[in-house]
């Protein structure tokens, strides 16, 4: 009887098996078991709403993700006040990790007038506080595509300052060393200066833990050389922090065959690159999805002071439709789904064990010299909390709340060569709803249709109205 009772009691215990945690060591990602880790991920965010609170939908999606071969997701916007245990547990049970952006539209670092202040820091900290609880949080981003052209270079120190302060907060709180990084737009005129700037400073606390790239260079039947990936590899081979593709999956040629995955996980690139995140999991108006929840439902009718939200589907613009909030049984979109599944199934980079990895040979990459192209002095002090950017067309002077200078530089925008990969990529990426245009369409549309407490409707608060006005001002300056 005693044995039988004990057996029943054991069956009733919810035994959880935690995934090994992920850390950045030198230029690679490792599990806490000492094995090098490579990312096979998908971007997971259909709307502005937090996708990690609907447990039923998470479980449906996780089942499909596991079949696809996913081991990581990227989520762009979350609400740290919500309960994420259900979704994070479902992901963990399937062996799936999370990369989460710390910023939201109101706390985004704007390229036109970058600022790093207490309110942003506290917002970033709140997201970190929430997700550090979970062993399957693989990393956090302090920014996404903040810099999109040469004139945006002045924002680079502010992104790096955000990384510095989040790392310091992480360490002060005694959290594990969750990697802190940045997701960059693939802009030819900023390569490789931006990645090197984020990794070159002599003090490790002032370097990012990883760097990631949103790149749509590989389109259709390309190759390692014709796609431009060989150039990316040459530019990153000596980088001293991990690098991976935080978005990839060009859809200019259909169907998508995802031939770039074979290259990314091949010996040509896998010694430098730690994998990729495919844009994106759920189908929306931009046609990047791997699964579909079915046709969108019409938005709720309500006036927000700027426009009326009672539109038929056909009258909404592409990025407006893409922000519908809906969920359903995920159905694979073929043949793209099976094409990616097949590519991932046949790639298995060997990597190296952490014990065999000699970090003594990993030295900080050389900082980009200050010149007419890269206008930031790499040796200048990073902005302190409360810093904001004031500038004239020929100079950049960050000031703190007390008015002291913290960095200098000269902003001289240069034009992008016609037909360049960066120009083509920008056109390719312009339809992605999560491509951040400073105060452009993404932030503005979010504010125009800010959700009420019920999660439905389009009412705009007084704060939202003010933020829209600020966004419009930045956008049209």
φ/ψ region of 440 (left if φ > 0, alpha if ψ in -120 to 50, else beta) reads beta
Q: Give the predicted TM-score (pTM) of the model.
A: 0.79
| 205: number of Cβ within 10 Å | 11
Label residue 297 by pLDDT band (50, 70, 90). Answer: low
pLDDT for residue 304: 35
> Is the pLDDT confidence value at 42 over 50?
yes
pLDDT of residue 100: 98
**Counting Cβ atoms within 10 Å, is residue 7 exposed (0-12), middle (13-18) or buried (19+)?**
exposed
| Cα–Cα distance, 201 to 207 (Å, whole number) | 6
Question: What is the model's pLDDT at position 46?
Answer: 81
Task: Identify the band that residue 326 occupies on the pLDDT scale cut at 50, 70 and 90.
Answer: low
Q: Which residue has the higher pLDDT, 379 or 400?
A: 379
Residue 451 confidence (pLDDT): 28
Average pLDDT over residues 316-343: 76
**Do the Cβ atoms of 174 and 222 come closer than 8 Å?**
no
Instruction: Look at 20-34, 36-50, 248-262, 412-426 and tell me which has the smallest mean pLDDT.
Output: 412-426
Q: Are 275 and 245 in contact (CB under 8 A)?
A: yes
Rounded to the nearest 5 percent, the helix, strand and coil shares of the chain are 30, 15, 50
Q: What is the pLDDT of residue 47?
A: 80
Distance, in Å, from the CA atom of 6 to the CA atom of 84, rounded to the nearest integer, reads: 32
Q: What SS3 class is residue 424?
A: helix
pLDDT band at 17, cuts 50/70/90?
A: low
**What pLDDT, in 10s, does the model give residues 156-181?**
999 999 999 999 999 999 999 999 99
Residue 192 CB partners (closer than 8 Å, separation 6+)? 235, 236, 368
Question: Residue 468 pLDDT > 90, yes or no?
Answer: no
Please give the share of the chain, as a percent, with pLDDT higher than 70.
71
Across 35-39, 100-104, 316-320, 370-374, least confident range? 316-320
With H, G, I as helix, E, B as strand and everything else as coil, classify residue 398. Answer: strand
Lowest mean pLDDT among 170-174, 254-258, 388-392: 388-392
Least confident of 84-98, 179-193, 384-398: 384-398
For residue 459, name the pLDDT band (cuts at 50, 70, 90).
very low
Q: Lowest-confidence range among 151-165, 361-375, 412-426? A: 412-426
What was the pLDDT predicted at 444? 29
pLDDT at 284: 87
Q: Look at residue 9 in the predicted model and tell me its pLDDT.
A: 46
Pairing of strands 291-292, 331-332: antiparallel
Residue 91 has pLDDT above 90, yes or no: yes
Q: Which residue has the higher pLDDT, 142 or 387?
A: 142
Strand partners, 353: 35
Flag whether pLDDT at 393 surpasses 70: no
Alpha carbon 242 to chain centroid, angstroms: 15
How far apart CA 336 and CA 41 sit, in angstroms, is: 15
Which pLDDT belongs to residue 406? 30
Q: How far apart are CA 206 and CA 235, in angstroms?
A: 22
Would you name the residues annotated as active-site residues? 145, 247
Query: What integer is the mean pLDDT of 126-144?
Result: 98
Q: Is the pLDDT of residue 244 over 70?
A: yes
């Amino acid at each position: 009887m005693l044995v039988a009772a004990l057996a029943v009691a054991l069956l009733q215990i919810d035994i959880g098996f935690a995934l090994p945690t992920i850390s950045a060591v030198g230029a690679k990602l490792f599990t806490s078991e000492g094995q090098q880790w490579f990312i096979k991920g998908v971007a997971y965010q259909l709307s502005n709403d937090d996708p990690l609170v609907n447990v039923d939908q998470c479980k449906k999606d996780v089942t499909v993700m596991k079949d696809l071969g996913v081991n990581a997701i990227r989520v762009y916007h979350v609400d740290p006040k919500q309960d994420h245990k259900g979704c994070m547990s479902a992901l963990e049970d399937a062996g799936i990790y999370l990369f989460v952006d710390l910023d939201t539209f109101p706390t985004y670092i704007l390229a036109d007038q970058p600022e790093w202040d207490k309110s942003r820091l506290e917002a970033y900290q709140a997201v970190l506080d929430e997700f550090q609880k979970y062993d399957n949080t693989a990393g956090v981003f302090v920014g996404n595509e903040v810099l999109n052209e040469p004139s945006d270079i002045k924002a680079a120190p502010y992104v790096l300052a955000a990384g510095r302060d989040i790392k310091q907060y992480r360490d002060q709180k005694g959290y594990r060393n969750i990697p802190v990084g940045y997701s960059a737009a693939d802009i030819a005129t900023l390569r490789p200066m931006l990645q090197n700037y984020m990794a070159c400073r002599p003090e490790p606390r002032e370097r990012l833990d990883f760097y990631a790239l949103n790149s749509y260079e590989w389109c259709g039947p390309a190759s390692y050389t014709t796609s431009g990936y060989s150039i990316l590899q040459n530019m990153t081979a000596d980088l001293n922090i991990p690098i991976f593709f935080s978005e990839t999956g060009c859809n200019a040629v259909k169907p998508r065959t995802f031939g770039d995955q074979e290259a990314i996980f091949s010996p040509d690139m896998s010694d430098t690159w730690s994998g990729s995140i495919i844009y994106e999991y759920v189908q929306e108006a931009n046609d990047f999805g791997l699964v579909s929840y079915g046709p969108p439902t019409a938005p709720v009718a309500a006036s927000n002071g700027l426009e009326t939200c009672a539109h038929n589907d056909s009258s909404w613009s592409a990025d407006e439709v893409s922000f519908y909030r809906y969920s359903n049984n995920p159905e694979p979109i073929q043949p793209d789904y099976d094409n990616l599944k097949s590519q991932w199934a046949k790639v298995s980079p060997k990597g190296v064990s952490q014990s065999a990895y000699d970090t003594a040979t990993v030295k900080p990459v050389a900082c980009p010299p200050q010149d007419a192209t890269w206008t930031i002095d790499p040796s200048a002090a990073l902005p302190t909390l409360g810093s904001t950017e004031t500038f004239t067309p020929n100079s950049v002077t960050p000031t703190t709340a007390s008015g002291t200078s913290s960095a200098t530089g000269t902003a001289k925008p240069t034009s992008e060569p016609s037909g360049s990969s960066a120009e083509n990529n920008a056109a390719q990426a312009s339809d992605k709803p999560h491509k951040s245009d400073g105060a452009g369409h993404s932030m503005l549309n979010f504010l125009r249709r800010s959700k009420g407490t019920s999660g439905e409707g389009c009412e705009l608060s007084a704060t939202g109205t003010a933020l829209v006005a600020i966004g419009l001002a930045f956008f049209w300056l």
